[in-house]
Amino acid sequence: MPVDTKIEGFKIRLAEEKDVPVILYFIKELAAYENLQNEVNATEEILRDSLFVRKMAEAIICDYKGEPVGFALYFYNFSTFLGKPGIYLEDLFIKPEMRGKGFGKIILSFLAKLTVERNCGRLEWWCLDWNEPSLKFYRHIGAKSMDAFTVFRLDDTALTDLADEFGE
């Protein structure tokens, strides 16, 4: 059920299985914006399984005047210090020609409200350090950068090699 927002014609709705093609489209558009197109391995089948069968994450679709113009994908994380879950925003994308209209702030406001309603302690996300427009916007809305932390990642062979160390 679409939710009306403060901007006339701009609605937010929880993604449904029929939205998988548009979610993948927005993921690819985000990857192009971040110059990471070669890193997209997601397919409609993978997304359908992850989002709607296994329910590992959730997504929202943002429509303006009946057309999809953006999306956000998020999932739960957990803070041991708070003893509560949080919501981690994996991706937020708005079509370039639709930016600057206030949609991003409304999306983050929607996610903040969802975070509060679900009794979560935090809403968190990453931002590429070169993305100055986004960094400026996030600081403007009161988000704090966590500069004292370094992100680590295991994937591909490093992940499987370490998993193999555990044995059977």
Residue spans of the domains in the chain: they are: 3-166
Alpha-carbon span 150 to 121, nearest angstrom: 21
CATH architecture of 3-166: 3-Layer(aba) Sandwich (3.40)
Alpha-carbon span 121 to 82, nearest angstrom: 7
Sorting pLDDT into bands at 50, 70 and 90, what band is 2? confident
What's the whole-model pTM score?
0.93
Q: Nearest 5 degrees, angle CA 106-CA 39-CA 137?
A: 25
Q: Half-sphere exposure (CA, 13 Å, Cβ side) for 32?
A: 9
Q: Shortest CA distance to 120 belongs to which of 109, 128, 112?
A: 112
Phi, psi (degrees; rounded to nearest 5) at 159: -70, -50
For the stretch 5-34, pLDDT in tens is 999 999 999 999 999 999 999 999 999 999
Sorting pLDDT into bands at 50, 70 and 90, what band is 167? confident
- In the annotation, is 74 catalytic? no
Alpha-carbon span 49 to 93, nearest angstrom: 21
What pLDDT is attached to residue 168? 66
For the stretch 25-62, pLDDT in tens is 999 999 999 999 999 999 999 999 999 999 999 999 99
Residues 6+ apart with CB under 8 A from 101: 7, 10, 64
